Chain A
């Protein structure tokens, strides 16, 4: 994808290592404004490493990450979050000893401290969260430790939204969930997109990716092997073979 005015996030030939092992090899991808992009691949292909690299949780050895026209490659994770990159990890990352309300409050306090992105007030924020996930209202006083898998994923996405992000990174948001919960989350992602938030989803299930993505990248062994419309991925035998193993 070539960069243009509407590109929110762009990765330009990034190489990332975990310890001595090179995981990403010249990965380039882009996410446009209000677009849902899926990064599909098998387990170990480099999806989580890509998301972690964008978030600043893993250092990029070479290449550039550009967010809203600004090079953020050398920024710390907390600075990227304050710039407007939201993140919900594979394990949801809910703080176990904090209540759901406290989990939301952290994002909100920090987003207000970050200042200039037209951040919502507490009431507007609550409305935004509960409009997306009305069921969360019932367990805001519950500690993270006592949430089910689906509840954790909902709270993680809602918490990331509380930072008023421009781009939302979702790492395996549908993994391990019942089909009805997956449908619920896909519906939520569609609504998040409608709010004008760009979404990058790391997903190993191609069928789930097809349901939500405007565009799709396939990754294998740390390299992007396909970029295009979801339907065209289905017609590409080599891509299908690689993704499905």
Chain B
């Protein structure tokens, strides 16, 4: 029973981080109709900045302060997004999708090199936050308490985002701009401002995913591409542009991956790709996506 609970918690842990990344990707696509291939880099920036602040810059500071500084990576990712959208992406909105993919792919390469340039090729860690919380006993096994914090943050982020999109004025404006940009502008909505806000929020979510996971996994070069691939599997399953889809997709990937690691570790990733392929064949817009 204890082992089963640990597997469930691991699946939820993985799903929480994946939801933060894929939810941001989906939000950006839903509002701006742009597939941001550099989205994984925002996740990596979140991880690196938090690892650097907590594990290097302020090492030795009171632990409470370090915990409060976890969102530093998310804020750095959000700030990066707020600069990228109006300067690099906006000029390409009226061009064909291929140009948008090319520019975000270029951005992926640039941001990867920027991370390497700033922090070098070696992993960065903030494990003090992970070890400080210790473990709790589940049955006969021990489970890291920090992981429960990550699961809680993922759940809270999903609830916050749902309320933000469906229960606030800005959410109504955001949904209006995502459904008909021309009409939104004709009703007085500054669509450019909505775009930069949505992009910044999406980047914040990706950055939060990186920031919250870095105490239990080091920040390493290449983590951005791994995250991007998994985020795409999530949105393919759930439906690109749908937050509900991102949540369900993240849960599916989390559970399948955890089961895969336990039962058939050699083909764990292949199973995920297979599920994504089946969804694409049977329901091309994803479980919660809407066909045009």
Query: Scoring A residues 131 to 142 as 1 if CB is less than 8 Å from chain B, else 0, what string do you get?
Result: 000000000000
Query: Scoring B residues 175 to 189 as 1 if CB is less than 8 Å from chain A, else 0, what string do you get?
Result: 110011011111111
> B188 touches which one: A93, A98, A163 (CB < 8 A)?
A163
DSSP class of A's interface residues: helix, strand, loop or mixed?
A: helix
Are A87 and B169 closer than 8 Å at their CB atoms? no
Residues from 5 to 49 in A contacting B, C-beta threshold 8 Å? none
Q: Is B191 interfacial (CB-CB < 8 Å)? A: yes
Are B189 and A78 closer than 8 Å at their CB atoms? yes
Chain A: residues with Cβ within 8 Å of the partner, total of 28
Q: How far is the CB of A86 from chain B (nearest CB, A)?
A: 9
Are B188 and A97 closer than 8 Å at their CB atoms? no
Q: How far is the CB of A90 from chain B (nearest CB, A)?
A: 11
Q: Is A202 interfacial (CB-CB < 8 Å)? A: no
Q: Is A50 interfacial (CB-CB < 8 Å)? A: no
Q: Is A76 interfacial (CB-CB < 8 Å)? A: yes
Q: Is B172 interfacial (CB-CB < 8 Å)? A: yes
* In the complex, chain A residues whose CB is within 8 Å of the CB of B183: 89, 93, 95
Q: How far is the CB of B252 from chain A (nearest CB, A)?
A: 24
Q: How far is the CB of A87 from chain B (nearest CB, A)?
A: 4
Q: Is B173 interfacial (CB-CB < 8 Å)? A: yes
Are B186 and A107 closer than 8 Å at their CB atoms? no
Q: Is A190 interfacial (CB-CB < 8 Å)? A: no
Are A106 and B189 closer than 8 Å at their CB atoms? yes
Given the contacts A57-B182, A95-B180, A81 and B187 also touching, CB distance less than 8 Å: yes
Are A110 and B188 closer than 8 Å at their CB atoms? yes
Are B185 and A78 closer than 8 Å at their CB atoms? yes
Are B175 and A81 closer than 8 Å at their CB atoms? no
Are B187 and A159 closer than 8 Å at their CB atoms? yes
> B185 touches which one: A81, A97, A103, A107 (CB < 8 A)?
A81
Q: How far is the CB of A127 from chain B (nearest CB, A)?
A: 21
* In the complex, chain B residues whose CB is within 8 Å of the CB of A113: 188
Are B188 and A107 closer than 8 Å at their CB atoms? yes
Query: Scoring A residues 47 to 73 as 1 if CB is less than 8 Å from chain B, else 0, what string do you get?
Result: 000000001110000000000000000
Q: Is B56 interfacial (CB-CB < 8 Å)? A: no
**A110 to B190 alpha-carbon distance, docked (Å):** 10
**A98 to B191 alpha-carbon distance, docked (Å):** 17
* In the complex, chain A residues whose CB is within 8 Å of the CB of B172: 98, 102, 105-106
Q: How far is the CB of B162 from chain A (nearest CB, A)?
A: 14
* In the complex, chain A residues whose CB is within 8 Å of the CB of B182: 57, 77, 93
Q: Is A153 interfacial (CB-CB < 8 Å)? A: no
Are B185 and A163 closer than 8 Å at their CB atoms? no
Q: How far is the CB of A126 from chain B (nearest CB, A)?
A: 17
Q: Is A114 interfacial (CB-CB < 8 Å)? A: yes
Q: Is A198 interfacial (CB-CB < 8 Å)? A: no
* In the complex, chain B residues whose CB is within 8 Å of the CB of A106: 172-173, 176, 184, 187, 189
Query: Which residue in chain B gives the minimum CB-CB distance to A110?
Result: B188
Are A89 and B186 closer than 8 Å at their CB atoms? yes
> B186 touches which one: A93, A97, A109 (CB < 8 A)?
A93
Q: Is A82 interfacial (CB-CB < 8 Å)? A: yes
> A78 touches which one: B169, B179, B188 (CB < 8 A)?
B188
> B179 touches which one: A55, A57, A98, A160 (CB < 8 A)?
A98
Are A76 and B185 closer than 8 Å at their CB atoms? yes
Are A111 and B176 closer than 8 Å at their CB atoms? no
Q: Is A122 interfacial (CB-CB < 8 Å)? A: no
> B187 touches which one: A76, A96, A163 (CB < 8 A)?
A163
Query: Can you list 30 A-B pairs with a CB-CB distance of less than 8 A?
Result: A57-B182, A57-B185, A76-B190, A77-B185, A78-B186, A78-B189, A81-B187, A87-B187, A89-B186, A95-B175, A95-B176, A95-B179, A95-B183, A97-B179, A98-B175, A98-B179, A105-B169, A106-B172, A106-B173, A106-B184, A106-B187, A107-B187, A107-B188, A109-B169, A109-B173, A110-B189, A111-B188, A114-B188, A159-B187, A163-B187
A106-B172, A110-B187, A111-B188 given; name 17 further pairs at CB < 8 Å. A57-B186, A77-B182, A78-B185, A78-B189, A78-B191, A87-B187, A89-B183, A93-B186, A95-B180, A95-B183, A95-B184, A98-B175, A98-B179, A102-B172, A107-B188, A114-B188, A160-B187
Shortest Cβ-Cβ A-B pairs, 4 listed:
A93-B183, A81-B188, A110-B188, A77-B185
